[in-house]
Every structure is written in structure tokens, then in C-alpha cells.
Amino acid sequence: MRRALTLAATPGVPLGPNPRVGCVLLGADGAEIAEGFHRGAGTAHAEVAALAEAGDAARGATAVVSLEPCNHTGLTGPCTEALVAAGVRRVVFAQRDPNPVAAGGAEALRAAGIDVEAGVMEPVAKGVNKAWTFAVEHNRPFVTWKFAATLDGRSAAADGTSHWISGTDARRDTHALRAECDVLLVGTGTVLVDDPQLNVRDEVDQPVEHQPLRVVMGEREVPADRRIHQGPGEAQHLATRDPAHALAELYAAGRRHVWLEGGPTLAAAFLRAGLVDEVVAYVAPTFLGAGAPAVGDLGITTITDQLRWHLKRAAVIGTGADATVRLTLTPGGDH
């Protein structure tokens, strides 16, 4: 199962509507026969990829899969039928499929006479598909809000300049985390003022092959010469100020993880709506004393109403004067 989970997390797989899945086929003696992983929407599922590699050797084998085999026909056929047809004897999987459309694989396999074991390393498997699992269970994308700020909570100086608050290593770290999402979202104000590229770039600052969808949210027009319209990948303008409406549109389009990187106004709108599921904050060892705050007005007037978050992890990114502290937080009990 550890190998199946490693396969599921293979880097470079396009993200989106489908989960990341890995599969290992074992012979009667426990030796590996074949393996496979899902490479993105429309491609063979992990089980089918492994079965194709195994050929006739799959008969009587054990399939170890990171997610319950699907039991529906989408862009590809049901994995349950492929496993039965291949003569697999036993199936062991980690996470039960939370998608009601695709669920029921375990029951279908048992009905076909296949021995099934569920829940092996399930917490790890859920971690591999954290955003996808959340999205399917809540019918909206998982939202990560990222911001960079000074020690006094400023995201820009008094003259509006904000490049660069965080260090070079922190910016590279940001791109690595951006690559785990399938939407990069900013507001029209950020596009008009900062004109960001809003893409994922590699260690030498070049765009990678698979880009998240670049989304601008807001009612103001976005000029055609803005850099968000340039480069590989797609861009979209959601002409709304309603976070829930924007997330509904993105979910309907198959998007499951939104990386929110707008200014203080957009961030405040998502927080007020209770639609931020994770915060990634890069705190630089510097002070400005004035300038734009990291987040706008939340309507909080007394300390007892503060939005309290749990610190999930902290890491120092970079060294010396270039060092930045990255904090990852999840909503607190009174959020």
C-alpha cells in the first residue's frame, strides 16, 4: 500500500475533477506483477493501467489500490468490471470513495466473488487527496488562502509597493504549493495594480507544463494586456463579488482546489463567508509601520469575536536576511 500511495502522489499529474490513485498488483507469492497510477482526467485509471501492464498474469492476483475502485462509467469504464474481467482474486484498498456517483465498488466486487479488504492506511490516503475529498464531501472546492506579510501585518507599503516582502526561497516555496492546486484566484484589484503572471514556475523561473486555471474575480473589466491572459494554461474572469457563487461555478467546472492569492478585500470576503479552509502565511522579519493590511475589515469590533485558527505547522524558509517563516493554519473550533 505504501507503494500504491507513492504512485498516487506521482508529481506532474494534472489536477482537477479526479482523485490521485495508485495501484500495485501482487502474485500469489506476494511478488509485484505490475503497477499503475492515474495520469489525469480521461486517461486510464490506476487499476486499468496496472492490469494492462500485467496482462494474463493478473488472473488470481491481489490488487492493492489507494482508493476504492470506481463502480460507474464516466470518461472511462468501471474499474470494478475491469478487475472482475481480469480474474483478480483479492482487492485491498485504503480510502473509501466519498463520491456517491462512483461509490459502491467494494460491494460490487464482493458480489462478483472477490475478497475485499478496506481501510488499509486510510488516513494517509486521505492526505494524498485532501482537497479532492473535501470538495466531493462539501460540493465546493477546498480553499487555501496564501498571503505574505511583515511582522506588523502589512502586505504592501504606504505607496502600494509589495515586491518583495518575502524572500526568494519563500517565493519558490509558494510555486511548489501553487502546483498542488487547480485554480489560482485573485481579485480584479490585484490584476489592475500588480499585474501578476499568476502561474506556476520552476526553479529557474520558467512556467511548468501543467498550469492551474488562472481566475480573476470581480465586476471590474480586466484589460486584454494584463499578464494573466498570457502564457501557458487557461484564464477566466468570474464577474461576481460573491465567493460562494464563484466557488460554485468552479466546482461545476471540475475544479477542486482553489489557491486564493488576492488582496485584503478579496481575502476578507472569503473569510467573512466562512469559505477559507486553510491559511498559508509567509511572515517576513521586517516592519513597515504603514500600508495595506494582509486582510480587510472582517466586521469584528471586540476581541471575543476574533477568528481563531489552529497552527498546523511552521517552517523557516531560507536563511539569514532572506529567511521567512511559513505558517500553515486550519480553522479553530470557534471559527
pLDDT over 50 (residue 152): yes
Q: Is 172 annotated as a binding residue?
A: no
Strand order of the β-sheet with 142-149 is 235-238, 213-217, 183-187, 257-260, 142-149, 278-283, 324-331, 309-317
Q: Which CATH code fits 2-132?
A: 3.40.140.10
Q: 226-251: per-residue pLDDT in tens?
A: 998 887 889 999 999 999 999 999 99
2-132 and 140-331 in the same fold: no
Please indicate whether residue 68 is annotated as part of the active site.
no
Q: Residue 239 annotated as binding?
A: no
Distance CA 18, CA 197 (A): 26
The Cα 124–Cα 102 span in angstroms is 21
Percent of all residues in the chain with a pLDDT value above 70, rounded to a whole number: 99
Q: What is the pLDDT of residue 334?
A: 46
pLDDT of the residue at 333: 54
Asked whether residue 171 is marked as a ligand-binding residue, the answer is no
Tell me whether strands 22-26 and 32-37 are parallel, antiparallel or unpaired: antiparallel
Q: Is 173 annotated as a binding residue?
A: no
Q: Is the pTM of this model over 0.85?
A: yes
- Residue pLDDT, tens place only, 82-139: 999 999 999 999 999 998 887 899 999 999 999 999 999 999 999 999 999 999 999 9
pLDDT digits (tens, 9 = 90+) for 254-310: 999 999 998 899 999 999 999 999 999 999 988 988 888 999 999 999 998 889 999
232 annotated ligand-binding residue: no
Rounded Cα distance between 281 and 310, Å, is 13
Does 257 carry a binding-site annotation? no
The conformation of residue 207, written as its DSSP 8-state character, comes to: B
* Band of pLDDT at residue 182, cut at 50, 70 and 90: very high
Identity of the residue numbered 300: I
Domain locations along the chain: 2-132, 140-331
Q: E strands within 27-154?
A: 32-37, 62-67, 90-95, 115-118, 142-149
What architecture does CATH give domain 140-331? 3-Layer(aba) Sandwich (3.40)
Q: Is 80 assigned to a binding site?
A: no
Read off the pLDDT of residues 6-51 as tens digits, 9 standing for 90 and up.
Answer: 999 998 787 778 899 999 999 999 999 999 999 888 889 999 999 9
Which residue in 35, 47, 68, 278 is the catalytic one? 47
